[in-house]
Amino acid sequence: MLYQRSSQLFAEAEKVIPGGVNSPVRAFKSVGGTPIFVKSAKGAYLFDEDGNKLIDYINSWGPMILGHAYEPVVNALVEKAKLGTSFGMPTALETEIAALAVSMVPNIDKIRFVNSGTEACMSAIRLARGYTKRDKIIKFAGCYHGHSDSFLIQAGSGAITFGSPNSPGVTAGTAKDTLLANYNDLANVASLFEANKDEIAAIIIEPVAGNMGCIPPKEGFLEGLRQLCDDNNTLLIFDEVMTGFRLASGGAQELLGIKADIACFGKVIGGGLPVGAFAARNEIMNYLAPLGPVYQAGTLSGNPLAMAAGLAMLQSLHSDKAIFSRLEEKTAYLEKGIAKVLNNNKIIHTINRVGSMISVHFDANPVFDFNSAKNGDNDTFKKFFHGLLKEGVYIAPSAYETWFITDALTYEDLDFTINAIDKVSKDL
Ligand SMILES: *Cc1c(COP(=O)(O)O)cnc(C)c1O
């Protein structure tokens, strides 16, 4: 494969865009080499600027759950664009997608649309803080909730402590209100509640973690968080930006049967356009402006193009529930195939999977939180990544990412991928 034109485009981009990219993980920093510049995509495939065809396991980091350039979404966009692309006034379309989302997701009465997952999570914690009249939140190490200040926090020193900023520009004042816990460690969370009695507004969590590889919640973990929240008048926020409309039509709340107080969405809900949303029961959502005191707004929120794409996507998912079982079967097939060839080639590994979220860790031990996820062998991952790229298979350029499976993948694509992994494994 040739990457000549991609390299040239990257060099040009670096002159006018910091690091040549508009979002850091695209820059290939953790795997080395230059990023691939994409020209077009259709179904399960990417076509790059050098004319290479790649099977895509990122799918825009989730939104393309039904494949690229998915016709109902494209058609909806083309039709809407002719009618004007932004008004800053209400449209019937916004109510239509809101009503559909509310009917698909359990435990919500109302939903507010924003422009990204970051905005959804940022707004959700403001709402939780306003509603509970408390300042502190608990987040889990390795969970990602977008790049707003309150979430860019790392563990401080000591077992029970305030977090400290993990990016310059995040103030110590902000960091002190974010408490950090270990994923799947209920006792850790309980101790934070004890040390911060009546101060915790919300726990925010990825109900199935997807930003440190795929990490399933242990039996009883989310139930335990639900109980702790109920006992302490704290809200439980499920960040379903990745899991929403992916693990089931009602997301992780439906799949796992656990009730969240606020749910955040992004990725799939926008069908590939910039959309996020947060939702809750009336009592909480009515706390938002203009009904209530908590302020939140957006010039392009509920944008007609974005809503048209999102609506077409949700309608497709709603009208064919078998999509989720197909995705589950395809991903299970992939998991089995990968495990078989890695075992045959004696490559030490652990595979985690929930539904169509899957990750391969080059580590013999179970991966259940951020610390265990960090143990994976990154040099092996780099070789694995570049080897697969050469074979025409594109996975995320970081060992901490989940693979996003799309229903556009055929079993031939999956077999091709498993064969590619077999080949690459011989050189690991
Ligand atoms: C991607 C992601 C976000 C951030 O969404 P953006 O649209 O990139 O701002 C938040 N939470 C989770 C779980 C995500 O996977």
Q: String of b and e for 361-396 (b: at least 16 CB within 10 Å)? A: bbbeeebbbbebbeebbeebbbbbbbbbbebbbbbb
Residue of the CA atom closest to atom 8 of ligand 1: 117
Bridge partners for 177 per DSSP: none
Instruction: Give percent of the chain with pLDDT exceeding 70.
Output: 98
Q: Which residue is catalytic, options 144, 183, 394, 400?
A: 144
Residue of the CA atom closest to atom 15 of ligand 1: 242
Question: Could you report the per-residue pLDDT of 126-137, keeping only the tens digit for each?
Answer: 999 999 999 999
Q: What's the pLDDT score for residue 2?
A: 87
How many Å lie between the centroid of ligand 1 and the Cα of residue 265?
Answer: 8
353 has pLDDT over 70: yes
Q: Which residue is catalytic, options 48, 177, 239, 413?
A: 239
**What's the burial of 219, exposed, middle or buried (CB within 10 Å: 0-12/13-18/19+)?**
exposed
Question: Could you report the per-residue pLDDT of 149-173, keeping only the tens digit for each?
Answer: 999 988 765 544 567 888 889 999 9
CA dist., res. 185 & res. 207, Å (int): 13
Token pair of 379, please?
Answer: 């040099």
CA dist., res. 23 & res. 118, Å (int): 13
CA dist., res. 178 & res. 129, Å (int): 12
Token pair of 323, please?
Answer: 């999509």
Judge contact between 282 and 102, C-beta under 8 A.
no
- Test site for ligand 1: of 118, 151, 238, 245, most ligand atoms within 8 A of the Cβ: 118
Question: Could you report the per-residue pLDDT of 212-232, keeping only the tens digit for each?
Answer: 999 999 999 999 999 999 999
How many Å lie between the centroid of ligand 1 and the Cα of residue 388?
Answer: 26
What value does the mean pLDDT take over residues 102-112? Answer: 98
218 catalytic? Reply is no
Ligand 1 lined by 251 (C-beta under 6 Å)? no
Q: What's the pLDDT score for residue 166?
A: 84
CB atoms within 10 A of CB 163: 26
- Test site for ligand 1: of 121, 123, 152, 400, most ligand atoms within 8 A of the Cβ: 121
48 catalytic? Reply is no
Question: Could you report the per-residue pLDDT of 232-248, keeping only the tens digit for each?
Answer: 999 999 999 999 999 99
CB atoms within 10 A of CB 294: 18
What value does the mean pLDDT take over residues 334-359? Answer: 98
Q: What's the pLDDT score for residue 164?
A: 80
Ligand 1 lined by 266 (C-beta under 6 Å)? yes
How many Å lie between the centroid of ligand 1 and the Cα of residue 210?
Answer: 10
Ligand 1 lined by 209 (C-beta under 6 Å)? no
Judge contact between 221 and 207, C-beta under 8 A.
no
Judge contact between 163 and 178, C-beta under 8 A.
yes
CA dist., res. 301 & res. 147, Å (int): 19
41 has pLDDT over 70: yes
Judge contact between 76 and 311, C-beta under 8 A.
yes
Q: What's the pLDDT score for residue 157?
A: 55
Q: Which residue is catalytic, options 80, 136, 139, 267?
A: 267
67 has pLDDT over 50: yes
What value does the mean pLDDT take over residues 6-21? Answer: 97
What value does the mean pLDDT take over residues 74-92? Answer: 98
pLDDT averaged over every residue in the chain: 96
CA dist., res. 263 & res. 111, Å (int): 9
pTM of the model: 0.97
Backbone angles phi, psi at 306, to 5 degrees: -60, -45
Q: What's the pLDDT score for residue 161?
A: 52
Residue count (the chain): 428
Domains of the chain, earliest start first = 4-69+322-425 (3.90.1150.10), 71-319 (3.40.640.10)
Ligand 1 lined by 121 (C-beta under 6 Å)? yes
Q: Strands 235-239 and 200-205, how do they pair? A: parallel
267 catalytic? Reply is yes
